[in-house]
Amino acid sequence: MNFLYGWRKWALLIAALAITAWAVTFFRNAEKTVEYRTAKVEQGRVIATVSSTGKVNAVVTVQVGSQVSGTIQRLYADFNSRVKKGQVVAQIDPALFRAQVAQAKSKLDNDDANAEKARVALVDAKRNLGRMEVLLAQQLIAQADKDTAQTTYDSAVASLKAAETQTEQDRAALQLAETNLQYTTISSPVDGTVISRNVDVGQTVAASLQAPTLFTIAQDLTEMQVDTNVDEADIGQVHVGQEAEFIVDAYPDSPFHGTVHDIYNQPITVQNVVTYDAIIRVKNPDLTLKPGMTANVTIKVGERENVIKVANAALRYHPDKASARPSIKEQRAHVTSIWVLRGKTEDPVRVTLGLSDGTFTEVVSGDLRPGEEVITEKIRTGGSPQGGRPPFMRF
Protein backbone atom coordinates (compact mmCIF):
# COMPACT_ATOMS: atom_id res chain seq x y z
CA MET A 1 0.00 0.00 0.00
CA ASN A 2 2.89 2.35 0.88
CA PHE A 3 4.54 1.43 -2.41
CA LEU A 4 1.43 2.35 -4.40
CA TYR A 5 1.11 5.66 -2.54
CA GLY A 6 4.76 6.52 -3.24
CA TRP A 7 4.42 5.72 -6.95
CA ARG A 8 1.42 8.07 -7.35
CA LYS A 9 3.24 10.84 -5.50
CA TRP A 10 6.24 10.65 -7.83
CA ALA A 11 4.02 10.48 -10.95
CA LEU A 12 2.15 13.65 -9.94
CA LEU A 13 5.44 15.41 -9.22
CA ILE A 14 6.88 14.49 -12.64
CA ALA A 15 3.69 15.63 -14.42
CA ALA A 16 3.75 18.99 -12.58
CA LEU A 17 7.37 19.57 -13.55
CA ALA A 18 6.62 18.71 -17.21
CA ILE A 19 3.67 21.10 -17.33
CA THR A 20 5.75 23.88 -15.78
CA ALA A 21 8.58 23.39 -18.29
CA TRP A 22 6.12 23.35 -21.23
CA ALA A 23 4.37 26.52 -20.01
CA VAL A 24 7.65 28.42 -19.65
CA THR A 25 8.74 27.39 -23.15
CA PHE A 26 5.28 28.10 -24.60
CA PHE A 27 5.01 31.67 -23.33
CA ARG A 28 8.66 32.46 -24.08
CA ASN A 29 8.20 31.33 -27.71
CA ALA A 30 4.87 33.11 -27.98
CA GLU A 31 6.54 36.38 -27.12
CA LYS A 32 9.38 36.24 -29.60
CA THR A 33 8.26 34.09 -32.57
CA VAL A 34 5.65 36.41 -34.15
CA GLU A 35 6.84 37.15 -37.68
CA TYR A 36 5.41 38.86 -40.77
CA ARG A 37 5.44 38.30 -44.47
CA THR A 38 5.82 41.64 -46.19
CA ALA A 39 6.06 43.17 -49.65
CA LYS A 40 7.81 46.35 -50.68
CA VAL A 41 5.91 49.37 -51.92
CA GLU A 42 6.97 49.92 -55.53
CA GLN A 43 6.85 52.70 -58.07
CA GLY A 44 6.18 51.85 -61.71
CA ARG A 45 3.54 51.03 -64.28
CA VAL A 46 0.12 49.46 -63.68
CA ILE A 47 -1.87 48.06 -66.59
CA ALA A 48 -5.49 47.02 -65.96
CA THR A 49 -6.83 44.34 -68.28
CA VAL A 50 -9.99 42.36 -68.99
CA SER A 51 -9.62 38.74 -70.08
CA SER A 52 -11.97 36.74 -72.24
CA THR A 53 -12.04 34.03 -74.87
CA GLY A 54 -13.35 34.08 -78.42
CA LYS A 55 -13.15 32.73 -81.96
CA VAL A 56 -11.13 34.00 -84.89
CA ASN A 57 -13.30 34.70 -87.94
CA ALA A 58 -13.03 36.48 -91.26
CA VAL A 59 -14.43 40.01 -91.22
CA VAL A 60 -16.87 39.19 -94.06
CA THR A 61 -18.02 35.62 -94.58
CA VAL A 62 -20.55 34.83 -97.33
CA GLN A 63 -22.59 31.64 -97.53
CA VAL A 64 -23.26 30.70 -101.15
CA GLY A 65 -26.46 28.72 -101.60
CA SER A 66 -28.88 27.56 -104.27
CA GLN A 67 -32.35 28.95 -104.97
CA VAL A 68 -33.38 25.90 -107.01
CA SER A 69 -33.38 22.19 -106.31
CA GLY A 70 -31.47 19.74 -108.42
CA THR A 71 -28.44 17.50 -108.76
CA ILE A 72 -24.92 18.92 -108.62
CA GLN A 73 -23.48 18.34 -112.09
CA ARG A 74 -20.09 20.01 -111.74
CA LEU A 75 -17.97 21.76 -109.12
CA TYR A 76 -15.48 24.45 -110.15
CA ALA A 77 -14.14 25.37 -106.69
CA ASP A 78 -12.84 23.47 -103.69
CA PHE A 79 -11.40 24.17 -100.26
CA ASN A 80 -8.92 27.10 -100.25
CA SER A 81 -9.78 28.04 -103.84
CA ARG A 82 -9.35 31.72 -104.67
CA VAL A 83 -12.45 32.97 -106.49
CA LYS A 84 -13.47 36.22 -108.15
CA LYS A 85 -16.85 37.91 -108.04
CA GLY A 86 -19.07 36.35 -110.75
CA GLN A 87 -16.87 33.27 -111.17
CA VAL A 88 -18.82 30.02 -111.64
CA VAL A 89 -18.25 27.71 -108.66
CA ALA A 90 -20.90 25.02 -109.27
CA GLN A 91 -23.40 23.82 -111.85
CA ILE A 92 -26.76 22.18 -111.11
CA ASP A 93 -28.10 19.87 -113.84
CA PRO A 94 -30.08 22.28 -116.08
CA ALA A 95 -31.96 19.70 -118.22
CA LEU A 96 -35.27 19.93 -116.32
CA PHE A 97 -35.15 23.74 -116.26
CA ARG A 98 -34.40 23.92 -120.00
CA ALA A 99 -37.47 21.78 -120.65
CA GLN A 100 -39.55 24.14 -118.51
CA VAL A 101 -38.27 27.10 -120.54
CA ALA A 102 -39.17 25.35 -123.82
CA GLN A 103 -42.61 24.53 -122.49
CA ALA A 104 -43.20 28.12 -121.41
CA LYS A 105 -42.08 29.42 -124.80
CA SER A 106 -44.49 27.09 -126.63
CA LYS A 107 -47.36 28.19 -124.43
CA LEU A 108 -46.50 31.82 -125.06
CA ASP A 109 -46.46 31.24 -128.81
CA ASN A 110 -49.92 29.66 -128.55
CA ASP A 111 -51.10 32.66 -126.56
CA ASP A 112 -49.84 35.01 -129.26
CA ALA A 113 -51.82 33.06 -131.87
CA ASN A 114 -54.98 33.18 -129.75
CA ALA A 115 -54.56 36.90 -129.21
CA GLU A 116 -54.18 37.44 -132.96
CA LYS A 117 -57.33 35.35 -133.58
CA ALA A 118 -59.19 37.47 -131.04
CA ARG A 119 -58.09 40.65 -132.82
CA VAL A 120 -59.42 39.35 -136.14
CA ALA A 121 -62.73 38.42 -134.53
CA LEU A 122 -62.92 41.87 -132.99
CA VAL A 123 -62.35 43.58 -136.33
CA ASP A 124 -65.10 41.45 -137.93
CA ALA A 125 -67.52 42.13 -135.07
CA LYS A 126 -66.87 45.86 -135.30
CA ARG A 127 -67.43 45.88 -139.05
CA ASN A 128 -70.68 43.94 -138.67
CA LEU A 129 -71.86 46.25 -135.92
CA GLY A 130 -71.27 49.25 -138.19
CA ARG A 131 -73.42 47.75 -140.94
CA MET A 132 -76.20 46.96 -138.50
CA GLU A 133 -76.25 50.51 -137.24
CA VAL A 134 -76.60 51.85 -140.81
CA LEU A 135 -79.40 49.38 -141.62
CA LEU A 136 -81.19 50.15 -138.39
CA ALA A 137 -81.03 53.85 -139.19
CA GLN A 138 -82.74 53.08 -142.54
CA GLN A 139 -85.26 50.91 -140.68
CA LEU A 140 -84.29 47.93 -142.80
CA ILE A 141 -83.64 45.63 -139.79
CA ALA A 142 -85.15 45.12 -136.42
CA GLN A 143 -83.57 46.54 -133.22
CA ALA A 144 -82.88 42.96 -132.07
CA ASP A 145 -80.50 42.39 -134.97
CA LYS A 146 -78.51 45.45 -134.07
CA ASP A 147 -78.42 44.38 -130.38
CA THR A 148 -77.08 40.97 -131.41
CA ALA A 149 -74.28 42.62 -133.39
CA GLN A 150 -73.46 44.85 -130.40
CA THR A 151 -73.26 41.82 -128.10
CA THR A 152 -70.97 40.02 -130.54
CA TYR A 153 -68.70 43.06 -130.66
CA ASP A 154 -68.55 43.43 -126.86
CA SER A 155 -67.76 39.72 -126.54
CA ALA A 156 -64.92 40.06 -129.06
CA VAL A 157 -63.45 42.96 -127.06
CA ALA A 158 -63.53 40.85 -123.88
CA SER A 159 -62.02 37.86 -125.64
CA LEU A 160 -59.12 39.95 -126.93
CA LYS A 161 -58.49 41.34 -123.48
CA ALA A 162 -58.52 37.83 -121.99
CA ALA A 163 -56.11 36.60 -124.68
CA GLU A 164 -53.73 39.50 -124.02
CA THR A 165 -53.91 38.88 -120.25
CA GLN A 166 -53.11 35.20 -120.74
CA THR A 167 -50.18 36.20 -122.94
CA GLU A 168 -48.77 38.48 -120.23
CA GLN A 169 -49.24 35.77 -117.63
CA ASP A 170 -47.44 33.16 -119.69
CA ARG A 171 -44.69 35.66 -120.56
CA ALA A 172 -44.06 36.05 -116.81
CA ALA A 173 -44.00 32.25 -116.48
CA LEU A 174 -41.36 32.16 -119.21
CA GLN A 175 -39.28 34.75 -117.37
CA LEU A 176 -39.55 32.66 -114.18
CA ALA A 177 -38.44 29.52 -116.03
CA GLU A 178 -35.51 31.37 -117.60
CA THR A 179 -34.52 32.81 -114.21
CA ASN A 180 -34.59 29.34 -112.60
CA LEU A 181 -32.42 28.10 -115.46
CA GLN A 182 -29.92 30.85 -114.71
CA TYR A 183 -29.95 29.87 -111.03
CA THR A 184 -28.61 26.45 -111.95
CA THR A 185 -25.27 28.17 -112.51
CA ILE A 186 -23.86 29.10 -109.08
CA SER A 187 -21.49 32.07 -109.09
CA SER A 188 -19.41 33.66 -106.33
CA PRO A 189 -20.92 36.93 -105.09
CA VAL A 190 -17.58 38.29 -103.83
CA ASP A 191 -13.84 38.02 -104.27
CA GLY A 192 -12.44 35.71 -101.62
CA THR A 193 -11.28 32.30 -100.51
CA VAL A 194 -13.43 29.18 -100.20
CA ILE A 195 -13.18 27.99 -96.60
CA SER A 196 -15.99 25.42 -96.76
CA ARG A 197 -17.49 23.16 -99.45
CA ASN A 198 -20.60 21.30 -98.33
CA VAL A 199 -21.62 19.35 -101.47
CA ASP A 200 -20.18 16.82 -103.90
CA VAL A 201 -20.86 16.02 -107.56
CA GLY A 202 -24.03 13.92 -107.87
CA GLN A 203 -25.52 15.18 -104.63
CA THR A 204 -29.09 16.45 -104.75
CA VAL A 205 -29.82 19.77 -103.10
CA ALA A 206 -33.35 20.68 -102.02
CA ALA A 207 -34.27 24.36 -101.85
CA SER A 208 -37.96 23.92 -101.11
CA LEU A 209 -37.77 25.08 -97.46
CA GLN A 210 -34.54 27.08 -97.33
CA ALA A 211 -31.56 27.72 -99.53
CA PRO A 212 -28.93 25.02 -98.89
CA THR A 213 -25.38 26.29 -98.30
CA LEU A 214 -22.99 24.99 -100.95
CA PHE A 215 -19.88 27.04 -100.15
CA THR A 216 -18.66 29.41 -97.47
CA ILE A 217 -16.40 32.15 -98.83
CA ALA A 218 -14.26 34.46 -96.71
CA GLN A 219 -13.93 37.75 -98.50
CA ASP A 220 -10.50 38.76 -97.13
CA LEU A 221 -8.34 36.58 -94.88
CA THR A 222 -5.64 39.26 -94.53
CA GLU A 223 -7.84 41.05 -92.00
CA MET A 224 -9.52 38.98 -89.32
CA GLN A 225 -11.66 39.61 -86.28
CA VAL A 226 -12.01 37.90 -82.91
CA ASP A 227 -15.54 37.57 -81.55
CA THR A 228 -15.04 37.61 -77.77
CA ASN A 229 -17.50 37.04 -74.95
CA VAL A 230 -16.88 39.66 -72.23
CA ASP A 231 -18.51 39.12 -68.85
CA GLU A 232 -21.19 41.64 -67.88
CA ALA A 233 -19.12 42.64 -64.82
CA ASP A 234 -16.26 43.76 -67.10
CA ILE A 235 -18.06 45.13 -70.17
CA GLY A 236 -18.35 48.60 -68.62
CA GLN A 237 -14.56 48.95 -68.80
CA VAL A 238 -14.29 47.95 -72.46
CA HIS A 239 -14.51 50.69 -75.10
CA VAL A 240 -14.00 50.95 -78.86
CA GLY A 241 -10.39 51.74 -79.76
CA GLN A 242 -8.74 50.02 -76.80
CA GLU A 243 -5.69 47.86 -77.46
CA ALA A 244 -6.04 44.09 -77.24
CA GLU A 245 -3.65 41.17 -77.27
CA PHE A 246 -4.46 37.52 -77.77
CA ILE A 247 -2.83 34.16 -78.32
CA VAL A 248 -4.05 31.05 -80.09
CA ASP A 249 -3.14 27.48 -79.26
CA ALA A 250 -1.27 27.07 -82.56
CA TYR A 251 1.18 29.88 -81.63
CA PRO A 252 1.24 30.10 -77.81
CA ASP A 253 4.50 32.08 -77.78
CA SER A 254 3.52 34.59 -80.47
CA PRO A 255 0.86 37.05 -79.29
CA PHE A 256 -1.24 38.95 -81.82
CA HIS A 257 -2.22 42.58 -81.39
CA GLY A 258 -5.43 44.34 -82.42
CA THR A 259 -7.98 46.91 -81.31
CA VAL A 260 -11.57 46.83 -80.11
CA HIS A 261 -13.63 47.59 -83.23
CA ASP A 262 -17.19 47.23 -81.93
CA ILE A 263 -19.24 46.14 -78.91
CA TYR A 264 -22.62 44.51 -79.53
CA ASN A 265 -25.47 45.50 -77.21
CA GLN A 266 -27.25 42.18 -77.59
CA PRO A 267 -26.72 40.08 -74.43
CA ILE A 268 -25.72 36.42 -74.69
CA THR A 269 -27.07 34.33 -71.82
CA VAL A 270 -25.75 30.81 -71.23
CA GLN A 271 -26.73 29.07 -67.97
CA ASN A 272 -27.62 32.43 -66.37
CA VAL A 273 -24.20 33.87 -67.27
CA VAL A 274 -24.57 37.10 -69.28
CA THR A 275 -21.83 38.15 -71.70
CA TYR A 276 -21.50 40.67 -74.52
CA ASP A 277 -19.75 40.29 -77.86
CA ALA A 278 -16.73 42.55 -78.32
CA ILE A 279 -15.15 42.54 -81.78
CA ILE A 280 -11.34 42.69 -82.00
CA ARG A 281 -9.91 43.56 -85.44
CA VAL A 282 -6.41 42.30 -86.29
CA LYS A 283 -4.21 42.30 -89.40
CA ASN A 284 -3.29 38.90 -90.86
CA PRO A 285 -1.00 39.63 -93.83
CA ASP A 286 0.78 36.25 -93.78
CA LEU A 287 -2.49 34.29 -93.26
CA THR A 288 -1.19 32.86 -89.99
CA LEU A 289 -4.57 33.12 -88.31
CA LYS A 290 -7.25 30.76 -89.59
CA PRO A 291 -11.02 30.95 -89.14
CA GLY A 292 -12.30 29.07 -86.12
CA MET A 293 -9.17 29.30 -83.95
CA THR A 294 -9.76 29.78 -80.22
CA ALA A 295 -8.27 33.02 -78.91
CA ASN A 296 -7.43 33.94 -75.33
CA VAL A 297 -7.89 37.70 -75.34
CA THR A 298 -6.55 40.37 -72.99
CA ILE A 299 -8.00 43.86 -73.48
CA LYS A 300 -6.05 46.78 -72.01
CA VAL A 301 -8.68 48.91 -70.24
CA GLY A 302 -6.35 51.27 -68.35
CA GLU A 303 -2.69 52.18 -67.85
CA ARG A 304 -0.82 54.34 -65.34
CA GLU A 305 2.87 55.21 -65.52
CA ASN A 306 5.23 55.96 -62.63
CA VAL A 307 2.69 55.44 -59.84
CA ILE A 308 2.95 54.09 -56.29
CA LYS A 309 1.70 50.51 -56.21
CA VAL A 310 1.30 47.78 -53.61
CA ALA A 311 0.89 44.04 -53.84
CA ASN A 312 -2.75 42.92 -53.78
CA ALA A 313 -1.95 40.54 -50.93
CA ALA A 314 -1.44 43.59 -48.67
CA LEU A 315 -5.04 44.66 -49.35
CA ARG A 316 -6.34 41.38 -47.94
CA TYR A 317 -4.48 41.67 -44.62
CA HIS A 318 -6.46 42.91 -41.62
CA PRO A 319 -5.38 42.42 -38.01
CA ASP A 320 -7.92 41.67 -35.35
CA LYS A 321 -9.19 45.26 -35.23
CA ALA A 322 -12.76 45.56 -36.42
CA SER A 323 -12.58 49.35 -36.31
CA ALA A 324 -9.78 49.34 -38.89
CA ARG A 325 -11.89 47.72 -41.58
CA PRO A 326 -13.27 50.12 -44.22
CA SER A 327 -16.92 51.09 -44.16
CA ILE A 328 -19.31 50.41 -47.03
CA LYS A 329 -18.99 54.04 -48.14
CA GLU A 330 -15.20 53.78 -48.10
CA GLN A 331 -15.30 50.53 -50.06
CA ARG A 332 -17.36 52.20 -52.78
CA ALA A 333 -14.82 55.03 -52.89
CA HIS A 334 -11.98 52.47 -53.03
CA VAL A 335 -10.67 53.62 -49.65
CA THR A 336 -9.05 51.05 -47.36
CA SER A 337 -6.24 50.59 -44.84
CA ILE A 338 -2.85 49.06 -45.51
CA TRP A 339 -0.65 48.02 -42.61
CA VAL A 340 2.99 49.10 -42.81
CA LEU A 341 5.64 47.35 -40.72
CA ARG A 342 7.71 50.07 -39.06
CA GLY A 343 10.17 48.45 -36.68
CA LYS A 344 7.98 45.91 -34.88
CA THR A 345 4.86 48.02 -35.06
CA GLU A 346 1.88 47.60 -37.38
CA ASP A 347 0.95 51.10 -38.57
CA PRO A 348 -2.32 51.44 -40.54
CA VAL A 349 -2.22 53.83 -43.50
CA ARG A 350 -5.46 55.00 -45.10
CA VAL A 351 -5.16 54.91 -48.90
CA THR A 352 -7.32 55.45 -51.96
CA LEU A 353 -6.86 52.76 -54.61
CA GLY A 354 -6.87 53.04 -58.40
CA LEU A 355 -6.13 50.60 -61.22
CA SER A 356 -5.22 46.98 -60.56
CA ASP A 357 -3.46 44.49 -62.81
CA GLY A 358 -4.36 41.52 -60.66
CA THR A 359 -0.99 41.51 -58.87
CA PHE A 360 -0.42 45.16 -57.96
CA THR A 361 -2.86 48.00 -57.31
CA GLU A 362 -2.24 51.70 -57.81
CA VAL A 363 -2.28 53.92 -54.72
CA VAL A 364 -3.92 57.20 -55.72
CA SER A 365 -3.48 58.88 -52.36
CA GLY A 366 -2.05 57.92 -48.98
CA ASP A 367 1.15 58.21 -46.92
CA LEU A 368 3.12 55.43 -48.62
CA ARG A 369 6.64 55.68 -50.00
CA PRO A 370 8.52 53.32 -52.33
CA GLY A 371 10.61 50.79 -50.38
CA GLU A 372 8.36 50.63 -47.33
CA GLU A 373 7.33 47.19 -46.13
CA VAL A 374 3.60 46.48 -46.16
CA ILE A 375 2.28 43.47 -44.27
CA THR A 376 0.73 40.68 -46.30
CA GLU A 377 0.49 37.99 -43.61
CA LYS A 378 1.22 37.42 -39.92
CA ILE A 379 2.93 34.10 -39.15
CA ARG A 380 4.20 32.40 -35.99
CA THR A 381 7.09 29.94 -35.81
CA GLY A 382 7.68 27.95 -32.68
CA GLY A 383 4.89 28.50 -30.15
CA SER A 384 1.17 28.22 -30.38
CA PRO A 385 -0.05 31.62 -29.20
CA GLN A 386 -3.58 30.73 -30.16
CA GLY A 387 -3.60 28.20 -27.34
CA GLY A 388 -2.58 24.54 -27.22
CA ARG A 389 -1.99 21.51 -25.00
CA PRO A 390 1.17 19.71 -23.97
CA PRO A 391 1.87 16.69 -26.16
CA PHE A 392 0.98 14.26 -23.45
CA MET A 393 -2.42 15.95 -22.90
CA ARG A 394 -3.51 15.86 -26.55
CA PHE A 395 -6.06 13.29 -27.56
Q: Which of 303, 329, 363 is the last residue of a domain?
A: 303
**What is the reported pLDDT for 324?**
52
What pLDDT is attached to residue 13? 66
7 in a structural domain: no
For position 384, what pLDDT does the model report? 45
Q: Are residues 153 and 284 in the same domain?
A: no
Q: Do both 177 and 104 map to the same domain?
A: yes
Residue 4 has pLDDT above 50, yes or no: no
Q: Are residues 226 and 236 in the same domain?
A: yes
> Whole-model pTM?
0.69
* Residue range of the domain that includes 79: 65-92+184-218
Cα 186 from Cα 209, distance rounded (Å): 19
Task: Give 374's Cβ-side CA count (13 Å radius).
Answer: 31
**8 A C-beta contact, residue 293 and residue 56:** yes
| Within-domain flag for 248 | yes
pLDDT per position as a tens digit, 17-67: 666 665 555 555 545 567 888 999 999 999 999 999 999 999 999 999 999
Instruction: Report which of 236, 154, 185, 211 is spatially closest to residue 75, judged by C-alpha positions.
Output: 185
Judge whether residue 208 has pLDDT over 80. no
Last residue of a domain, one of 303, 337, 353: 303
238, 271, 303 - which closes a domain: 303
CATH of the domain at 288: 2.40.30.170
**What pLDDT sits at residue 15?**
67
Question: Is 193 a member of any domain?
Answer: yes
- Can you give the pLDDT at residue 11? 63
Is the same domain home to 69 and 191? yes
pLDDT digits (tens, 9 = 90+) for 289-347: 999 999 999 999 999 999 999 999 999 888 865 445 666 665 666 788 899 998 878 89
Co-location of 299 and 279 in the same domain = yes
Q: Are residues 338 and 228 in the same domain?
A: no
CA angle 347, 348, 353 (to 5 degrees): 140
Q: Are residues 310 and 365 in the same domain?
A: yes
Can you give the pLDDT at residue 210?
A: 75
pLDDT in tens, 373-393: 999 988 865 544 433 344 433
Confidence of residue 212 (pLDDT cuts 50, 70, 90): confident
